[in-house]
A and B are shown apart, each in its own frame.
Chain A
Amino acid sequence: MSAHLPAASTGHGHFDGSAALQTIPLLPRNAVLSLLHGYRATISHAYGDVCKYYPSCSAYAVGAVQQHGALKGSVMAAARIARCHPWAKGGVDDVPLHTNFRYDLTPRGFVVPVPLRKD
């Protein structure tokens, strides 16, 4: 049930060739995101629902890496997994959003730069 990504983790952005240079700093987080999407599509399914929170730990990891990058996002995800123990209360626990998030999200949950010319 909690296997899907929350709406805050998907968007309508798409990769634009003109912004290829701006994607380079986004490579690490998109690499981690592809690992997470792979995990969520396979291993997550086999385990079924085990998480005490919404969004689930893996969905939280996706959100954290999208918002805060590969490094900080991974640390936040690890902290979340540590919180997800049998004696935890559980409940709704969303990723704290980045104060000024300057990128777009694709429908699949990858991070792309905002297109330069919008008019």
Chain B
Amino acid sequence: MPDLIGIILWPLKWLVELVLVAWHALFTAIGLAPAEGITWVLAIVGLVLVVRSALIPLFVKQIKSQRKMMEIAPELRKVQAKYKGKKDQLSREAMSRETMGLYKKHGTSPVSGCLPLLVQMPVFFALFSVLNGVQTIKTDPDHTGVGLLSNELMTEFYNAKLFGVASLHDTLIGAWEAQAPGWQVTVGILLVLVVLMIVSQFFTQLQIISKNLSPEAKTGQAYQMQKIMLYVLPFAFVFSGVFFPLGVVIYWFTSNVWTMVQQFVVIRNLPTPGSEAAKLREERLARKGKALDATGKIIPMEKYQAEQQRLFEEAERARAATPKRQQPIGKQRAKKQAQKQPGDGGPKSGGSADPAAGAAS
């Protein structure tokens, strides 16, 4: 079994090493000392940039899909209304089937599928095993990576110290126990990073939950779960901060900062339709004399108002064109009216005692 996992991870590890070594070479070329801690830290930051940039297309696809959800919202609400209050298994199954059918018909979906979740895991394992694998230099001085991370580079990485004292392979618990010279700096850096990670994770989630959820998403069990996770998830970083080496923590921290900035940009410029953030964006645009048209493009206010006017007139015309519903008349009364008709002629006056006039108003 470990062999199978090793085979799956091998190409990923090879790529991680390639990116890491390439960034290291770049920073060395622009004059940083190859064995300095900061050079390797920047190489790790570079690795984050590459990995997260590669994930951007997926992210954009997700957002576009969410935008399309707005178009099918009325139909979705119809399905929800149909099954309102029906909690038995068969009704819920039928509702899920109809909802999924609706998504397929319109070629959109609020979710991105199960595969991305599964793919992310080996990528992270590969990262972790490369960064963590540097530690094996201690017990096995001849250790090399699977690809470009040679024994010399690995030894250099292993011996690199941030600020001259904090080794990238030190863990908080290890530094605490060993109490080597300057251990306070290592512990201090790790503590600061862990606190910043917790804060950034919490802040990112809070932004999403408080601003970027549509009213539909704010109902139901998933929302309650998200609210609980808001307070629980950040504390996963306490665990990683204590047991993971500084190099891994730096990777994770940088990745977190990326997520935070990305979320900020998205919430500001591509908010979920119908959410608080979307309202704020419309207000910002309105202040600048601009508005969003039906397809989500930014257009000048005059054009927007003209379009709204046109849509309103169209709706009015459509309403006028549809025939008005006739008040049903009883058989007896219809007969009476038919008899009256020849003598009566023109429209009835308001003062007439005819009961039909009262019923029609």
Chain A contacts to B: CB under 8 angstroms: 1-2, 4, 6-7, 10, 45-57, 81-82, 84-92
Q: How many residues of B contact A (CB 8 A)?
A: 31
Shortest CB-to-CB span from B67 to chain A, Å, is 15
- The answer, among A1, A48, A88, for a CB contact under 8 Å with B225, is A48
Provide the B246-263 mask, 1 if CB < 8 A to any CB of A, else 0.
Answer: 000000000000000000
Binds A, one of B37-45, B91-99, B284-292, B319-327: B91-99
What 12 additional pairs, Cβ within 8 angstroms, besides A48-B222, A49-B110, A89-B104? A1-B99, A4-B93, A7-B90, A48-B225, A49-B222, A50-B111, A51-B111, A85-B116, A86-B116, A87-B61, A91-B103, A92-B97
A85 to B99, Cβ gap below 8 A?
A: no
A54: nearest chain-B partner, CB-CB: B100
Set of chain B residues within 8 Å of A91, measured between Cβ atoms: 100-101, 103-104
- List A contacts of B226 (CB < 8 A): 48
For A86, list chain B residues within 8 Å (CB).
58, 61-62, 112-113, 115-116
> How far apart sit A46 and B226, CA to CA, in the bound complex (Å)?
9
Complex interface: chain A residues within 8 A of B97 (CB): 54, 92
Is B118 interfacial (CB-CB < 8 Å)? yes
**B89 CB-CB contact with A under 8 Å:** yes
Q: Which residue of B lies closest to A89 (CB)?
A: B104
Q: Does B85 contact A (CB under 8 A)?
A: no
Complex Cα distance, B104 from A43, in Å, reads 26
Q: Are A4 and B104 in contact (CB under 8 A)?
A: no
Residues on the B chain within 8 Å of A6, using CB: 93
Q: Which residues of B contact A50 (CB under 8 A)?
A: 111-114, 117
Judged by a CB distance under 8 angstroms, whether B109 is at the interface is yes
Question: For chain A, what secondary structure do more than half of its interface residues adopt (helix, strand, loop), or is it mixed?
Answer: loop
Asked if residues B115 and A85 are in contact (CB atoms below 8 Å), the reply is yes
> Please, how many angstroms separate the alpha-carbon atoms of A55 and B89 in the complex?
13
CB distance from B205 to the nearest CB of A (A): 13
The answer to whether the Cβ of B107 comes within 8 Å of any Cβ in the partner chain is yes
A55 to B61, CA, bound (A): 23
Q: Chain B: residues with CB nearer than 8 A to chain A?
A: 58, 61-62, 89-90, 92-93, 95-97, 99-101, 103-104, 107, 109-118, 220, 222, 225-226, 229
B64 to chain A, nearest CB (A): 11
Given A2-B96, A54-B96, A92-B101, A49 contacting B111 (CB threshold 8 A): yes
Given the interface pairs A45-B225, A51-B111, A90-B103, the reply to whether A7 lies near B62 with Cβ below 8 Å is no
Contact A53 B100 (CB under 8 A): yes
Q: Is the CB of A46 within 8 A of B89?
A: no
A100 to chain B, nearest CB (A): 24
With the chains together, A56 CA to B97 CA distance in Å? 11
In the complex, which residues of chain A have a beta carbon less than 8 angstroms from the beta carbon of B90? Answer: 7
Q: How far is the CA of A45 from the CA of B95 in the complex (A)?
A: 19
- A-B pairs with the 7 shortest C-beta distances? A91-B104, A54-B100, A84-B113, A84-B114, A85-B115, A57-B114, A86-B112
Contact check, A88 vs B113: say whether CB atoms are below 8 A apart.
Answer: yes
- The CA of A92 and the CA of B105, in the complex, are separated in Å by 11
Contacts known (A45-B225, A91-B101); A51 close to B58, Cβ less than 8 A: no
